[in-house]
Amino acid sequence: MSSDAKPALLPPHLIEGYTSFLSGRFSDEQMRYRRLAEKGQNPRIMLIGCCDSRVAPEVIFDASPGEIFVVRNVANLMPPYAPNDDLHGTSAALEYAVMGLRVEHIVVMGHAQCGGVRAFASNEADPYQRPLSPGDFIGKWITLMAPAAEKLGRPDEVSLDVYVEHLARLSIKQSLINLRTFPCVRILEERGKLKLHGAFFGVSDGRLLALDEPSGEFVEVAAEAHKAAFATPRF
């Protein structure tokens, strides 16, 4: 690049994607975007997901603009209610979704091969080889998994891969517990105006599981559609 050339304002790949968006989805849904701009958003679902680039909720659920209010963080964690002077991004998003938008459903969605869960699990397996220092942001954030890990026990009798998958699912349950420590969530759920859900997405196979809270088990969603998707191999 010559000294006179201007640096790219955005990565070229993003500009290419935006151009495709304009000629495709935006063109098809231009009136929807206009209505959303004029009337505001009114999503019925809030989804708390992981910021992992492989698990975009809008893609997985084929959602149109304005349908899902999404907050993403490392390892899709929900902290407990803690009204103090710290900064609480995820809690602020929850408060807005519940009190401002009046969502009717909150979904905590984890996924397979989660790097945040693996980082915590690796530390549990070998506390003398910490993958992250306890003083950095991620190291402190993923301690939210500690209650789930205590219920699961140490990863001594199973492989780390198996332990990570178990911890990821148990952590979803812990986030639901933490959600219910928020008075606004607890009250609205008791009144039947808000429902909480847990979900788990398989990155490699696209399999979606949903938590059946009474049994504590994750069960497959749309199993027949998932099977049909693999019936005809694509090359």
Of 50, 118, 166, 169, the active-site residue reads 50
pLDDT of residue 158: 78
Active site residue 136: no
- How far apart are alpha carbons 45 and 197 in whole angstroms? 10
The mean pLDDT value for 75-103 works out to: 97
- How far apart are alpha carbons 50 and 47 in whole angstroms? 10
- CATH, domain range 41-229: 3.40.1050.10
Under 8 Å between Cβ of 105 and 197: yes
The mean pLDDT value for 87-99 works out to: 97
Report pLDDT digits (tens) over 201-228: 999 999 999 999 999 999 999 999 999 9
Report pLDDT digits (tens) over 108-154: 999 999 999 999 998 876 654 555 556 678 988 999 999 999 999 87
- Angstrom distances, CA of residue 105 to CA of 53, 60, 62, 110, 150: 24, 17, 17, 16, 28
What is the token pair recorded at 206?
Answer: 């696209």
- How far apart are alpha carbons 77 and 50 in whole angstroms? 8
The mean pLDDT value for 152-165 works out to: 85
Active site residue 184: no
Under 8 Å between Cβ of 33 and 54: no
pLDDT of residue 123: 80
What are 68's strand-pairing partners?
Answer: 45
Q: Is the dihedral angle over the CA atoms 23, 40, 200, 159 positive or is it negative?
A: positive
pLDDT of residue 127: 54
Of 25, 32, 51, 54, the active-site residue reads 54
At CB < 8 A and 24+ separation, what contacts does 148-154 make?
Answer: 148/173, 148/174, 149/120, 149/121, 149/124, 154/124, 154/125
Global confidence as pTM: 0.92
pLDDT of residue 52: 97
pLDDT of residue 233: 66
The structural domains of the chain, with segments of one domain joined by +, span 1-40, 41-229
- How far apart are alpha carbons 154 and 64 in whole angstroms? 42
Residue 176: pLDDT over 90: yes
pLDDT of residue 231: 81
Residue 7: pLDDT over 90: no
- Residues 6 or more apart whose Cβ sits within 8 Å of residue 29: 64, 65
